[in-house]
Every structure is written in C-alpha cells, then in structure tokens.
Amino acid sequence: MIVVMKPGASQQQIDHVIERIEQLGLRSHIIVGTERTVVAALGEKRDGAKQALETGDGVEKVVPILAPYKMASTEVKKERTCVKALGLSVGNRRIGVIAGPCSVEGRSQLLEIAQMLKEAGATGLRGGAFKPRTSPYSFQGMKEKGLELLAEARQQTGLAVVTEVMAPEHVPLVAKYADVLQVGARNMQNYPLLERVGEAGVPVLLKRGPSATMDEFLLAAEYILKMGNSQVMLCERGIRTFEDHTRFTLPLATVPYLHQTTHLPVVVDPSHGTGKASLVIAMARASVAAGADGLIVEVHQDPEKAISDGYQSLTPAAFREMMAECRKVAAAVGMEM
C-alpha cells in the first residue's frame, strides 16, 4: 500500500504514519517528492491495515500497489532513478556507455583498451574477473588479480569499474574494487546474492535471465531495492527463443515497457543480445532509439585472440563508429551521450 500524505503534512504526522505501519507488522519506506511525501507500507497483505492507516492525521489517501513488485514500481515512485558511479551516469536523459572486454585477460590488454575506450567516450569500464562459463573447463577469470587490474585501469582513466560478482560470499571482495556490481544473467534469481549486493551499498547492474519474464526480472530487482539499495540498473541482454541466427534474441520492446512500469534505468547489451560483432552497432543504435538509458558492449583490441566472447566483441575502431552513430540517434531522440 502507499500512504499518500497531504501536501504540507508535518514531520510529526509522517513519523506517526511510519510508527503505525511498523505496528501493523509492515516495513515502511519513505519517498519525499517535490510536492508531497508518500510512505510505502510493504509486506504481506493485512486485513484492516488500509482503514487503520487512512484515519491518520495528515493522510490524504491510502492506495493499494497493484504491481507485484513494489519499490521498483512507478506506482510508488514516479521520478526516474538516475544511477551514478564516478563519471558514469545512467538515466535522466544521459546515456551511460559501459565498454570493455568480456574478461580481464592481463595487465597490458586491460590498461590499453581502457585508455582507448576513455578517449572514445565510454564512461564505464566492463571486464569480468569472475566469469560464469557454460563449461567448467573454460577460462574462469583472473579473480582477485583481475579486480586489482580493473582498479589500476580506473586509476589511470577515471572510468567506473563494472564487474560481475557470482557468489554471495564474494560480495565484500568484489565491492572493494568495483564501482558497479554486475549480477549476471545466470544469477538473476540467486536471491541470497541479490540480498547481499543490496546490502553492499554499491550501484548494481542486474542482467535479465535469458528465460525470465518482466515480472520475474522486476521482482529480482525488488530483492536488491528492499535491502535499501536504490541504485539499480536493469539490463536487457537477450532471451532464449527458437531462433538460432543470433546467440540470443534481443527484445527491444523491453526498454519502453520497463519505462512504463519502473523508474529504474534500462541498459541494453547488444553484444550478448546478438552474439555477432557485425550486428552490434545496428542494435546499439536501435537501443538508443528505443530510449535506452545506457549501453554495455564488449570491445577487444584483437577480438580474434580474445579468451572469451571474441566473436561478439567490437574492435576499438568499430566502437568509435558505434559512438558516433549512437550520438546522432541520441540527439534525434532528445538524449545526450
């Protein structure tokens, strides 16, 4: 439920509402708007709770939240969320571009590509140190050494580090180095992991599971939000369908749909979404045209020799071309990039 306070309700009246919500065994979450304050009452539905809260001083009305996800919903918060980490800003009509290799492979590889990406206009640096690989025999990532290299690349370029955390027990370690914690597609419904990244207080990039519905995706985000972390970006990275001309099918209607249902910013990953470097630029342009708040793309100085996902990685020259083309589209739809 949402308790909508009257304009100009006093702090004492708001505090009283919060106290009543907690006495009813619900959690309260305050959203201070420009005109009025609303207090969300979260938890299992209770008989009589609506009537009990409606009688409070300073309360205008109590409305049920219809969406199954609460804090992620535009019913609870109308103003759009903007996620910020160093120079990376995602949302609020500014498109954040996160680019980098699939995996951190070594010092010169990472520092060299980070410099090129910075010069080309990226604001975030991606690179996996802990890699979720389909086969247990594939390269699993450089782990903590990789995180150290990402921190060194940040120091040299100022780019915000975006890197995946795969296990709840790794959250403190990865959060020590990362500016944004990435939760991968395979882990979208790893609820203990979502709760731990929610507690970490670091911005999160949550990737959509390849078979997750929009409600499942938003409920996964809700696990992070309910821990008090409101800096969450949703990332469409393609879903599994019968189609096999691309690695995944990239549904771009996700972008406007999520803009209608949630205030959280939406990032698109055209690299995993297509699995083909030759398709990435066009889908990046289309993502911007659809209103994406951010892009995450794989770039490697020598894609042929990349340890993982080289076939979908752009060269630095192709990345520059993507930036130039996407900037034109961004300008056309009233966004900055």
Q: What are the residues facing 97 on neighbouring strands?
A: 295
Q: With CB under 6 A, what is the number of residues at the site for ligand PEP?
A: 9
Residue 97 sits at the vertex; the CA angle it makes with 91 and 98, to the nearest 5 degrees, is 115
Q: Which of residues 35-94 bind ligand PEP (CB under 6 A)?
A: none
C-beta contacts of 144-150 below 8 A and 24+ residues apart? 144/173, 146/103, 146/104, 147/173, 147/174, 147/176, 147/177, 147/178, 148/177, 149/104, 149/106, 149/107, 149/110, 149/111, 150/104, 150/110, 150/125, 150/177, 150/178
Six-digit token pair at 190? 């790893």
Binding residue for ligand PEP (CB under 6 A) from 91, 100, 128, 316?
128
Q: Is the Cβ of residue 20 or residue 131 nearer to ligand PEP in the bound state?
A: 131
309 makes contact with Mn ion (CB under 5 A): yes
Which of 58, 96, 141, 184 binds ligand PEP (CB under 6 A)? It is 184
Which tokens is 293 given? Answer: 């708040």
Nearest to 330 by CA among 288, 278, 268, 274: 288
Is the Cβ of residue 42 or residue 306 nearer to ligand PEP in the bound state? 306
Q: Residue 247, interface with ligand PEP (CB under 6 A)?
A: no
- Selected from 207, 226, 263, 300, the binder of ligand PEP by CB under 6 A is 207
Looking at the DSSP assignment, which residues form a beta bridge with residue 236?
A: 268
Q: How far is the CB of 209 from ligand PEP (least distance, A)?
A: 9
Map the footprint of Mn ion across residues 46-105, applying CB under 5 A.
102
Q: Are 16 and 56 in contact (CB under 8 A)?
A: yes
Residue nearest to ligand PEP as judged by C-beta position: 184
Backbone angles phi, psi at 225, to 5 degrees: -60, -40
- What is the pattern of x (binds ligand PEP, CB under 6 A) and - over residues 268-287? ----x---------------
- Does position 102 interact with ligand PEP (CB under 6 A)? The reply is yes
Binding site for Mn ion (CB under 5 A): 102, 309
Binding site for ligand PEP (CB under 6 A): 102, 128, 132, 184-186, 207, 237, 272
